[in-house]
Amino acid sequence: MNGKNASMKQLIWTGLVAGIAAFTSCKQGPQPIRYGYDACTHCKMTIVDKRFAAEIVTRKGRAYPFDDIACMVDYIKAGRNSGDVAAIYVSDYNKPDGSFMEASQAVFFYSEKFNSPMNGNYAAFSQGASAPPADSTLKGPLKWERLLQ
């Protein structure tokens, strides 16, 4: 009976440690946005346009979705989540399938013709991608750091 109790205690402790490890090792990559359902963290509008979506992921794995790059920039400039950010992601305008890339790896263009959800009118492109068609309001390419100034 004593051997069974020791084995049972060991099994309980092993399960407890495994459960804690699974709980604390949250995913820090981009989290899927439920388009048409999730609300922008900054403006509270429903996120529907995959071309302009963005996301902040904290060190604990919590995701803060945004419907417009400008909303995320305003949120960051307001000092929210400072020091707790693990990664910042943006959608690639040329790949409107909802996939993300790190903001630091993207180049940004501004154009009134983008017509983004909150009229921030910035779009992210993967480096090396072709630039959007020129128009009188087109500005760029810009790096992520420039948007934060």
31-78 per-position pLDDT tens digit: 999 999 999 999 999 999 999 999 999 999 999 999 999 999 999 999
Q: Is residue 104 in a domain?
A: yes
With a cut of 50, say whether residue 14 has pLDDT above it. no
With a cut of 60, say whether residue 12 has pLDDT above it. no
- Asked if 109 and 59 count as a contact pair (C-beta separation under 8 A), the reply is no
Q: Is residue 105 in a domain?
A: yes
pLDDT score for 29: 87
- Asked if 65 and 41 count as a contact pair (C-beta separation under 8 A), the reply is yes
Q: Is residue 6 in a domain?
A: no
Q: Is residue 52 in a domain?
A: yes
Q: Is residue 71 in a domain?
A: yes
Least confident of 34-43, 125-134, 138-147: 125-134
From 73, 102, 76, select the one nearest 89 (Cα to Cα): 102
Q: Is residue 134 in a domain?
A: yes
With a cut of 50, say whether residue 15 has pLDDT above it. no
Phi/psi of residue 102, nearest 5 degrees: -65, 140
Number of domains in the chain: 1
Q: Is residue 99 in a domain?
A: yes
Q: Is residue 2 in a domain?
A: no
End-to-end CA distance of the chain: 69
Domain residues for 132?
28-147
Q: Scanning the structure block, which residue is given the tokens 């409107």?
A: 96
